[in-house]
Amino acid sequence: MIKRGVLAVVALLFLATRSASAQNVQSLSLKEAELRAVQNHPQIRAVQYAAMAADESVHQVRSAYFPTVYGSVTGAEAESGSRIAAGGLNNPIILDRFAAGLSVGQLITDFGRTHDLIESVGLRADAQRQEVDGRRSDVLLQVDRAYFNALRARSVETVAQQTVNARQLVVDQVTTLAASSLRSGLDVSFARVNLAEANLLLVQARNDVQAAFAALSAAMGLSEFMAYDLADEPLPTQPPADTEALVAQALRERPDVLSERVLGQAAFKFAEAERALWFPSISAVAAAGLVPYRQDGLNSRYSAVGVNVNVPLANGGLFSARGAEAGLRARAEEQRLRDLENRVARDVRTAWLDARTAFLRLDLTAQLLTQANDASDLAQARYDIGLGSIVELSQAQLNKTRAELEQTTARYDYQTRTAVLKFQIGALK
């Protein structure tokens, strides 16, 4: 039964190897992966278009400073003696005519309301640009995580393959000794079980490599699957000792903090603009045109210039409510900024603790691997001279494999934790 299981696992390994070798393999470094993500990722493209749209909103509000010009063509013919008797207070006389002309309107002043609106919308556009930087940082963190996870998966695959080779050697050795009646059949069964476990580890490791490559392609904004020959990255230096400096850097450089800060300023500017609704507005109006077809009594052309002064007197408390609403929303933005700053400080300290712990694990896992190698060599030597059992040897090999996996995980976990810390302090751009 064990032999059949081993043969099935070997067949699966052969098919997986052929499938993996059929994939196109590209060389890729971390910097290249980040560059591709910045160029291709749809999340970055989406916020870039949103930022461009926000810039256009500034032009929309600023258009109030410029004249508005309308061209009009009007024709009218009425029954003799017709008068509009209901529906309006304007002059009810309808005169036969056909005319074309221009109407021009120009805001003279609204005592700062338009200026405050432009400032508010401009600050919101700045916040949207900060959103682009923030989304870029998010994408880069996803890429770094996927890249280091792929490196870890590849290293685990290497460890699994080495484990299979080592246990296959033990199986061959024990089988030969058992054929000479120097070892029992139980030793052969134990060795084959260990080999089957190693093969299962290798199958899972190869699956994890392919899954990691799929995640890396998605993180770079690519829809197709690609296999990569990843370049290893040097280990970062030890995390700094001063967390307060890291928190200060995060509050100074994090795009989301900067965006929320600017949104608060925009909200206060908008509140000022809403309070300015009570101020009068002064505008100029001009009209001119020609009347080629007209009723008797009309001139062949017309022109007029006027000034309008609009002073709000009463509107059922509408302007007061709008000003109060805008002021309260500005205060809400202020509290959101405080909450975000608190969360950022917490996240920076947590990321620093994780990075420091991951750094300490590097030395501990190296020590663990050295001890596991020594124990494995000693167990192999004891088994070769007949002093140790196959159980002792199997346990030593298992401990060695676990130590190798722990060291591999510790290396890439530290690189991932360092990337997270860089993201939290706003240094991943």
Q: What is the pLDDT of residues 198-216, one digit of tens each?
A: 999 999 999 999 999 999 9
| Token representation of residue 160 | 């699994």
Half-sphere exposure of 145 (CA within 13 A, CB side): 14
pLDDT digit string (tens) for 368-407? 999 999 998 898 888 888 888 888 888 888 899 899 999 9
CATH topology of domain 2-68+111-280+318-424: Outer membrane efflux proteins (OEP) (1.20.1600)
**Segment 274-283 mean pLDDT:** 93
**Rg, the chain, Cα only:** 38
- How many Å apart are CA 104 and CA 100, to the nearest integer? 14
pLDDT band with cut points at 50, 70 and 90 for residue 171: confident
Q: Which strands make up the sheet holding 281-294, listed edge to edge?
A: 68-76, 97-109, 281-294, 301-310
Bridge partners (DSSP) listed for residue 282: 109, 309
For the chain, give the mean pLDDT: 89
Per-domain residue ranges of the chain? 2-68+111-280+318-424
**Segment 314-340 mean pLDDT:** 95
In order of 99, 163, 315, the CA distances from 205 in angstroms are 83, 12, 72
pLDDT digit string (tens) for 237-252? 999 988 999 999 999 9
Residues 6+ apart with CB under 8 A from 205: 153, 156, 157, 159, 160, 161
Q: What is the pLDDT of residue 88?
A: 67
Write down the residue that tokens 């899954």 correspond to. Answer: 211
- Reference 163, options 367, 8, 372; nearest CA is 372
pLDDT band with cut points at 50, 70 and 90 for residue 10: very low
Residue 23 has pLDDT above 80, yes or no: no
How many of the other CB atoms lie within 10 Å of CB of 97?
16
- b/e sequence 232-270, b meaning 16+ C-beta within 10 Å: ebeeeeebeeebeebbeebbeebbbbbbbbbbbbbbbbb
- Reference 411, options 217, 207, 236, 214; nearest CA is 236
| Token representation of residue 27 | 């060389």
pLDDT digit string (tens) for 62-117? 999 999 999 999 888 887 777 777 776 667 777 788 899 999 999 999 999 999 99
Residue 3 has pLDDT above 50, yes or no: no
Residue 188 has pLDDT above 90, yes or no: no
Q: What is the pLDDT of residue 89?
A: 67
Residue 22 has pLDDT above 60, yes or no: no
How many of the other CB atoms lie within 10 Å of CB of 312?
12
Cβ(184)–Cβ(390) under 8 Å? no
pTM of the model: 0.83
